[in-house]
Chains A and B, each alone.
Chain A
């Protein structure tokens, strides 16, 4: 019956359902507009989170450097907001003219939320102007707290705007089950459409990802300014800024896989065939590329920390351990990137007895991958801990016992991860899926417990010397660039995986894509498109960075103003 309806739908489409775009085609035009808009949106949502946190540290911690850092980023936001709005408008016009039937359908359901969306954008823009232009006027006392409240408001508006846009795209992916091809869109209740199966998981995933992205972009900006710096003081300031950006990005990255796991699980629960296409079928190759890119993030983030230990007096104590951490990360990356179904020629296939390698195939399943990524997260956390301890001499009487307890927590967490990883090979798939929850809980409990103990251990700790900010080789700054580029690439790649699992549906099993672009693009074509979007976005961001330097002088504080500070923020 539904096939007949779809045929009728296809026949109706002959009357101006789709428009055409010169040279690159309608789909590519919408793809570029949507992707670059989304990247700028992540920028203007992530960076205010960063700005409001650093402003709070400046207010409540009394360190003015953080306040200036916050202001410097808000200045970049002004231009980035315009870029977001421009690309959003381009997307809107493209959708309305190239996919008019689908556009009409979607906004027959979501028209009220679209109006609220537009209104909120207005509020958001003017809050940003107040926030930036009021910076120097509301600088002290209660006025400063009021100013900080504006920053919080900016984040609240931005988050609601994102939640509204998320409801549109998640409806396309997981419309409520009672909605079918014949349902009149004007009869669908707005909240019913908004609160669909994947809406909240995407909200949480994107919220955390925006923090990661904001930190990474801050890091890239700092590295750009570091490399262009002419004085040691300027270099010291931007070195510190890069460290803060990287710290926030990697800290949030550690929890991001858990949010992603929830989203993946919801997709499976909503429609198993969609889940299989994503994780085990056509789209599964994207996850191998994703594994590569996330391994690059882990390796680069740790690399930056290890180089940074060179500027911390006392951190040389921990140097001998870094090579072992590196070994765990490399082995983890190898396991994580091992495909279950291997690319092999006919001779290799015959030798292996199929596409699954008889020995390495064991590394291609979820048990091995979950184990690898959890151990990589623990290793990265250990790197942070060593970096934080770099120039500390602990003075609390229970310092040795505390450190032993921390070591035991790491050992127990790693033990739990390994136990369930190995056990996963001997149980049914249904039981195995539940094991990843225990692995994640063990890692999170270790991170929380060790952090609390570390803060208590650090009470009254003596400093072995101030961090020599600015004493970083240029290659450390390129590591920050790599982080920002990789994050951007990952966003494009995984965004395609999420959106692509709908295959030839505008709205999954409700509205079919009957245009000539309905076929899911080949991975090679998709990779090129995503790379093009990343290139466009980063070129525009480079322009924004340049404008940021053009508008005002940089905000570094001279050495006399900055106190010798402890590491770890």
Chain B
């Protein structure tokens, strides 16, 4: 069942050096070109490409050096390139290529660009234990959506939530609740995508309440830089309206909110 390669090609395919080169090229092609082509996927950020390639490089180096015979064969072409007179031209090209590559990387690092630099912003900073909402305190720990206590009124609350959403949230978070509203592209960070399994699907409703009520200005220290454009909705909406819109978010996306561990709430 083995693939029959022409002898000249087989010589390369069985050589550890060219296997290493092949594996690195294959990994790069998969990460940079194949993954973005998968359904629903997107380009892989440069930081992640670097991380993946570094891991693959370590794996490849382990592969070529974990036994003496393979290690000696791996070094053969490198030794030949460095010393053999017949490879003088190739040596010159490789040296020029490596120097050029280093220069290119350096240029890429220092050239002026209009793009904002990436930052390590904490998307889900730890919530406080309690907050004040229009002057009265709300304990967030162990708090569930109070509107869920009366399932018979859920439909009415959803109607309110939908109205609130379309009046206030739509321009940024979009018609599909996917963070692709009309103004979305003007923001950095871009508005939250509620359809993503990494946003409201991972959070308790009290966390979502806190974020809506306090918005960007209410982000704690660890949520820096404070450049989120999300307003403080407590200035415009009542507590009940915020809980209604939260009901709407979960209902529309189909996610269920994260629940509290029994022991935590009872201990508190």
Contacts and interface: CB of A to CB of B under 8 A. Distances in A.
A360 B35 contact: yes
A307 B196 CA distance: 45
B68 A354 contact: no
Contacts of A343: 45, 47-48, 118-120
A225 B121 CA distance: 46
Interface string A322-360: 110011011001100111111111111111111111111
Nearest to B120: A285
A23 interface: no
B41 interface: yes
Interface in B165-197: 178-180, 185, 188-190, 192-193, 196-197
B152 interface: no
B56 A330 contact: yes
Contacts of B45: 342-345, 348, 352, 357
Main secondary structure of the interface of A (DSSP, over half): helix
B33 to A, nearest CB: 13
13 contacts: A276-B125, A277-B126, A280-B124, A281-B122, A282-B126, A307-B67, A341-B123, A343-B120, A352-B45, A357-B41, A360-B44, A519-B221, A520-B221
A349 B44 CA distance: 10
A428 B259 contact: yes
B5 interface: no
B59 A330 contact: yes
Interface of B: 35, 38, 40-48, 51-52, 55-56, 58-59, 62-63, 65-68, 71, 115-129, 141, 178-180, 185, 188-190, 192-193, 196-199, 202, 221-223, 256, 258-259, 261, 263-264, 267
A28 B45 CA distance: 35
Interface string A355-388: 1111111101100000000000000000000000
Given A323-B63, A341-B122, 18 more contacts: A272-B141, A280-B126, A281-B122, A281-B223, A282-B125, A284-B122, A307-B65, A339-B48, A342-B47, A345-B115, A348-B118, A352-B43, A353-B180, A354-B192, A355-B121, A359-B35, A365-B197, A365-B198
Interface in A433-487: 473, 475
A333 B144 CA distance: 37
A333 B55 contact: yes
A565 interface: no
A11 interface: no
A269 B267 contact: yes
B197 A346 contact: no
A249 interface: no
Interface string A204-245: 000000000000000000000000000000000000000000
Contacts of B264: 268-269, 272
Given A326-B59, A359-B42, A428 B258 contact: yes
Contacts of A360: 35, 41, 44, 48
Contacts of B55: 295, 330, 333-334, 337
A307 B62 CA distance: 10
* Chain A CB within 10 Å, residue with most, of B44, B116, B188, B202: B44
Nearest to B207: A276
A364 B62 contact: no
A350 B46 CA distance: 14
B222 A277 contact: yes
Contact of B68 (A268, A282, A310, A345): A310
A515 to B, nearest CB: 16
Contacts of A307: 65-67
A502 to B, nearest CB: 12
A288 to B, nearest CB: 9
Contacts of B258: 428-430
A338 B48 contact: yes
B46 A273 contact: no
B63 A358 contact: no
A274 to B, nearest CB: 7
Contacts of A337: 51, 55
A280 B119 CA distance: 16
A354 to B, nearest CB: 5
A405 interface: no
Contacts of A277: 125-126, 222
B222 A344 contact: no
A404 interface: no
A326 B222 CA distance: 38
A489 interface: no
A357 B42 contact: yes
A568 B63 CA distance: 24
Given A303-B62, A346-B115, A359-B41, A353 B222 contact: no
B267 A348 contact: no
A362 B192 CA distance: 17
A177 interface: yes
B29 to A, nearest CB: 15
A408 interface: no
B126 A273 contact: yes
A342 B199 CA distance: 14
